[in-house]
């Protein structure tokens, strides 16, 4: 009996003895253990193996680590990224931008179905700088892409929501690496056409696509020149029904405007096409244009040149971001930040002096730590 195997139950022992317990009663809810099951924490090697096999659940969990602010998670994430790097880089990365309502989700759904239909595997990522304020990202949401969301060969991930634009963009760039290692040969990075985020997206894609809608005939006015200059292709959506003439008019205007721009670094002449995301017309032509661009730039060496430049850019961005984070996370700095801000606002010290005082303390802290 179990009772006898306890040394306390030896006849010579004079302390308390151990009684035989009763077996635990059967659980009332036999399915409870299933719902309570803790998610398995994979090692970095298990993550990499899963990703290389194309396991989307593991890929998804790895992306969650990439996005996590937790230090331990970041350590594993960085190891996973490093091991995935040799298996990355083989996809075609396409940036897609347009103002809200331009038809990004409808178009990505249609573009995606077109690509999957031709045997591609597509990852859809997003950079949404507004998500920090709105506490939730709208871009890249699966419900916006109804057809794609249920495809085996599509992986849709909303924008990482925490941190500065630089931080959000870095996470998306790292996610691209994981998706490529998982076998996705086409990557979309979506963003809203309202400002800085285009530059971030432009710095991580091969082809940058600007989505436009035909309107009153003065489409050009609303667009920042910088965004048009970044575009390798402008595609005018909603060229259907009563809109067809307007779309053609807008196409002409954009073509004329592009003529006035200086030649691009790639030597490629940005094209202007019309299509309907809703009815799926003109889609094949858009992808012919993208592939033409890829062939053209691979041939003249610009494709590799741009990717190298992007890597260099991200090296500096990572340094900047981590320095900034380290500074603001420093407890000494956190203690004095509000007080210094106050003094600057009350004109007691200049902003430069305040900054210098804090930086001096920060750097002194670093040298004394050594
Ligand atoms: P997003 O905000 O850029 O993602 O835009 P959505 O894809 O949500 O589209 C905004 C609106 O435009 C929706 O009501 C769509 O139904 C409509 N829409 C999108 N693509 C087309 C199109 O090709 N033709 C027409 N007529 N409407 C479209």
Q: Is the CB of 30 under 6 A from ligand 1?
A: no
Q: What's the pLDDT at 238?
A: 92
Question: Average pLDDT for residues 37-54, to the nearest whole number?
Answer: 87
For residue 199, what pLDDT is reported?
82
Atom of ligand 1 nearest to the CA of 279: 23
What residues pair up with 272 in beta bridges, in sequence order? 234
- What is the DSSP annotation of 169-214? HHHHHHHHHHHHHTT--EEEEEEETTSTHHHHHHTT-SEEEEEE--
Q: Is the CB of 365 under 6 A from ligand 1?
A: no
Question: Exposed, middle or buried, 220 (CB in 10 Å: 0-12/13-18/19+)?
Answer: middle
* Ordered DSSP codes for 123-134: EEEEE-TTHHHH
End-to-end CA distance of the chain: 61
Tell which wins on pLDDT, 109 or 70.
Answer: 109
- What pLDDT is stored for residue 1 in this prediction? 42
Tell me the C-alpha distance between 232 and 264, whole Å: 9
| Cβ–Cβ under 8 Å, residues 123 and 184 | yes
Question: Which run of H or of E encompasses 303?
Answer: helix 302-329
Distance 220 CA to ligand 1 centre (A): 19
pLDDT at 100: 82
CA pair distance 252, 273, nearest whole angstrom: 10
Residue 109 has a pLDDT of 94
CB 165 within 8 A of CB 196: yes
Answer whether residue 356 shows pLDDT above 90: yes
What digits encode the pLDDT tens for the residues 77-126? Answer: 999 999 999 999 999 999 999 888 888 989 999 999 999 999 999 999 98
**pLDDT at residue 310, rounded to an integer:** 94
Tokens of 233: 């292709």
Above 80 in pLDDT, residue 340? Answer: yes
pLDDT above 80: residue 322: yes
pTM over 0.85: no
In this predicted model, what pLDDT tens digit does every residue of 127-143 receive, in sequence order?
876 655 554 455 656 67
Ligand 1 pocket member 246 (CB < 6 A): no
Where residue 219 falls among pLDDT bands split at 50, 70, 90?
low
CA of 281 relative to ligand 1 center, distance in Å? 14
- Say if residue 2's pLDDT is above 50: no
User: What local confidence, expressed as pLDDT, does residue 3 receive?
Assistant: 46
Average pLDDT over residues 204-223: 77
The mean pLDDT value for 275-283 works out to 92
> Is the pLDDT at 181 greater than 70, yes or no?
yes
**29 C-alpha vs ligand 1 centroid, how far in Å?**
47
Share of the chain above pLDDT 70, in %: 81
| pLDDT (0 to 100) of residue 220 | 60
Is ligand 1 within 6 A of the CB of residue 103?
A: yes
Q: What is the mean pLDDT of residues 70-82?
A: 91
Predicted local distance difference test score (pLDDT) of residue 162: 59
Distance 83 CA to ligand 1 centre (A): 40
Least confident of 23-32, 249-258, 311-320, 354-363: 23-32
């Amino acid at each position: 009996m179990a009772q006898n195997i306890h040394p306390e139950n030896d006849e010579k022992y004079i302390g308390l003895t151990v009684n035989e317990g009763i077996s635990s009663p059967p659980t009332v809810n036999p399915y409870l253990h299933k719902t309570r099951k803790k998610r398995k924490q994979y090692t970095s090697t298990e993550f990499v193996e899963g990703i290389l096999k194309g396991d989307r659940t593991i890929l998804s969990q790895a992306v969650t680590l990439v996005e996590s602010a937790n230090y331990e998670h970041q350590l594993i994430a960085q190891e996973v990224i490093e091991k995935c790097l040799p298996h990355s880089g083989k996809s075609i990365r396409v940036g897609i931008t347009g103002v809200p309502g331009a038809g990004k989700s409808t178009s990505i759904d249609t573009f995606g179905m077109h690509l999957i239909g031709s045997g591609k595997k597509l990852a859809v990522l997003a950079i949404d700088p507004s998500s920090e304020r709105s506490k939730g990202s709208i871009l890249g949401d699966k419900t916006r892409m109804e057809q794609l969301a249920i495809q085996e060969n599509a992986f849709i991930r909303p924008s990482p929501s925490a941190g500065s634009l630089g931080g959000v963009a870095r996470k998306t760039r790292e996610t691209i690496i994981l998706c490529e290692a998982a076998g996705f040969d086409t990557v979309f990075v979506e963003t809203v056409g309202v400002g800085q985020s285009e530059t971030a997206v432009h710095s991580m894609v091969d082809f940058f696509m600007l989505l436009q809608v035909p309107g009153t005939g003065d489409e050009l006015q609303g667009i920042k020149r910088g965004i048009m200059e970044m575009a390798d292709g402008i595609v005018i959506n909603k060229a259907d029904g009563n809109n067809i003439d307007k779309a053609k008019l807008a196409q002409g205007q954009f073509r004329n405007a592009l003529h006035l721009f200086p030649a691009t670094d790639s030597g490629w002449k940005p094209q202007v096409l019309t299509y309907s995301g809703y009815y799926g017309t003109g889609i094949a032509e858009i992808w012919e244009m993208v592939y033409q661009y890829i062939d053209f730039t691979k041939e003249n060496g610009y494709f590799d040149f741009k990717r190298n430049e992007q890597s260099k850019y991200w090296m500096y961005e990572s340094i900047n971001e981590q320095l900034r984070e380290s500074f603001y996370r420093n407890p000494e700095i956190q203690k004095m930040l509000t007080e210094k801000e106050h003094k600057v606002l009350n004109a007691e010290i200049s902003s430069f002096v305040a900054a210098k005082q804090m930086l001096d303390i920060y750097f002194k802290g670093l040298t004394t730590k050594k």
